[in-house]
């Protein structure tokens, strides 16, 4: 603890981050540029999320970190240990016990509560980037609410594939104003963004953007009246470990003969259910 400043970053950097976070909260869905720092991990490993988490942490926090729903993957374990070392915070794998949750590409199955902060790691914050590569143009499109291009893109999906063919990073409209990339969460998680009691912060380190969804913010997944949004997942499958029917499932290949199983992506949710089942059986 004595080797680093609290939460790793210097105070001037944290003030810059905190000012950006407050502006992001004041303009839900708008991407606030910030001066992203080099972190002791490569881009793509959550440098944006780590900076947002560092700016928000207090010593009393309990931190949970998940990577694709799992608490026990390299990225999640590394970031959890990083903050335990440089901020001295308690860590947990239980969603309900965490005050700050940093996540890569999932929202926990256990409903979040008021007072919790969910920090997303974001690779490409600009939802229009693959439709229009020029930053000057996408900035003007956001300023003018000129979102026809995105609707055309979704329409073309329907024309080609018969449905909106996007399973993750499914674009949303925030409070009827900004179109926002919810980070590469499965579209199964999109409904959890809407009217969440928790504060949701998004950090993109390489792209130098911070954006936010305050609690109880209206977040609508883009769709058409005749092609409404559906929060899909592996059809007809249940978790092979805990039997959950309502959770998002990962497909795991088990051998070279085509064997496969579906298991909960959220390891804490799955383990909690297994423990409860063992208790019931006993």
Partner 1 sequence: MQLTTGFANPPVDAARAFRVVLDAMAHPARIVDLPPIEAPAPCSPAAAIVLLTLVDATTPLHLAGAHDNDAIRDWVRFHLGAPLVAPQDAAFALGDWDALGPLASYPQASADYPDRSATLIVECAALSSDGVPLTGPGVQTEASLALPDIAALQANAAQFPRGLDFLFTSGAQLAALPRSTQIGGA
The residues assigned a catalytic role are 29, 239, 242, 264, 270
Alpha-carbon gap, residue 31 to 20, rounded angstroms:
9
Alpha-carbon gap, residue 121 to 206, rounded angstroms:
11
Q: Does residue 144 bind partner 1 (CB under 8 A)?
A: yes
**Contact with partner 1 (CB under 8 A): which of 39, 50, 57, 180?**
57
Alpha-carbon gap, residue 109 to 101, rounded angstroms:
13
Reported in sequence order, the residue ranges of 109-193 that DSSP labels E, i.e. its strands, are 117-121, 172-174, 178-180
Nearer to partner 1, 172 or 213 (CB): 213
Q: Does residue 143 bind partner 1 (CB under 8 A)?
A: yes
Site string for partner 1, 218-237 (x = CB under 8 A): x-------------------
- Minimum Å gap between C-beta 263 and partner 1 is 34
The arrangement of strands across the sheet holding 209-213 comes to 32-33, 209-213, 199-204, 117-121, 100-104, 62-67, 90-91
Beta strands 117-121 and 209-213, pairing class: unpaired
Nearer to partner 1, 34 or 269 (CB): 34
Q: Does residue 22 bind partner 1 (CB under 8 A)?
A: yes
Cα-to-chain-centroid distance, residue 10: 26
DSSP class of residue 189?
Answer: G
Nearer to partner 1, 23 or 233 (CB): 23
**Candidates 66-74, 104-112, 209-217, 257-265; binding stretch for partner 1 (CB under 8 A):** 209-217
Q: Does residue 129 bind partner 1 (CB under 8 A)?
A: no
Q: Which residues lie below 8 Å from residue 124, measured CB to CB, with a gap of 6+?
A: 130, 169, 181, 204, 207
State the angle between helix axes of 11-26 and 47-56 in degrees (0 to 180), rounded to the nearest 10.
Answer: 100
**Contact with partner 1 (CB under 8 A): which of 58, 167, 234, 252?**
58
**Candidates 14-22, 37-45, 65-73, 245-253; binding stretch for partner 1 (CB under 8 A):** 14-22
> Is 230 in a helix, a strand, or coil?
coil
Q: Does residue 95 bind partner 1 (CB under 8 A)?
A: no
Interacting residue ranges for partner 1, rule: CB under 8 A: 5-7, 11-12, 14-16, 18-28, 30, 32-33, 55-59, 115, 139-140, 143-144, 175, 177-178, 197, 199, 213-218
């Amino acid at each position: 603890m004595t080797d680093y400043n609290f939460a790793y970053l210097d105070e001037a950097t944290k003030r810059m981050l905190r000012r950006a976070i407050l502006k992001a909260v004041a303009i839900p869905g708008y991407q606030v540029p910030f001066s992203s720092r080099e972190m002791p991990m490569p881009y793509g490993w959550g440098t944006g999320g780590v900076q947002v988490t560092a700016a928000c942490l207090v010593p009393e926090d309990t931190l949970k970190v998940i990577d694709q729903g799992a608490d026990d993957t390299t990225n999640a374990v590394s970031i959890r240990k990083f903050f335990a070392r440089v901020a001295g915070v308690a860590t947990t794998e239980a969603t309900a016990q965490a005050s700050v949750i940093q996540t890569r590409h999932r929202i926990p199955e256990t409903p979040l509560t008021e007072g919790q902060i969910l920090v997303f790691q974001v690779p490409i914050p600009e939802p229009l980037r693959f439709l229009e590569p020029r930053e000057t143009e996408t900035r003007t499109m956001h300023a003018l609410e000129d979102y026809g291009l995105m609707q055309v893109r979704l329409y073309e999906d329907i024309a080609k594939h018969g449905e909106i063919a996007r399973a993750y990073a499914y674009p949303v409209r925030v409070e009827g104003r900004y179109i926002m990339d919810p980070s590469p969460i499965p579209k199964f998680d999109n409904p959890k963004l809407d009217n969440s009691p928790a504060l949701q912060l998004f950090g993109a380190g390489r792209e130098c953007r911070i954006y936010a969804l305050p609690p109880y913010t209206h977040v609508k997944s883009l769709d058409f009246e005749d092609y409404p949004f559906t929060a899909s997942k592996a059809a007809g499958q249940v978790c092979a470990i805990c039997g959950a029917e309502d959770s998002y499932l990962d497909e795991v290949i088990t051998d070279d003969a085509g064997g496969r199983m579906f298991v909960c992506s959220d390891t804490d949710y799955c383990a909690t259910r297994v423990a409860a089942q063992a208790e019931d059986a006993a």
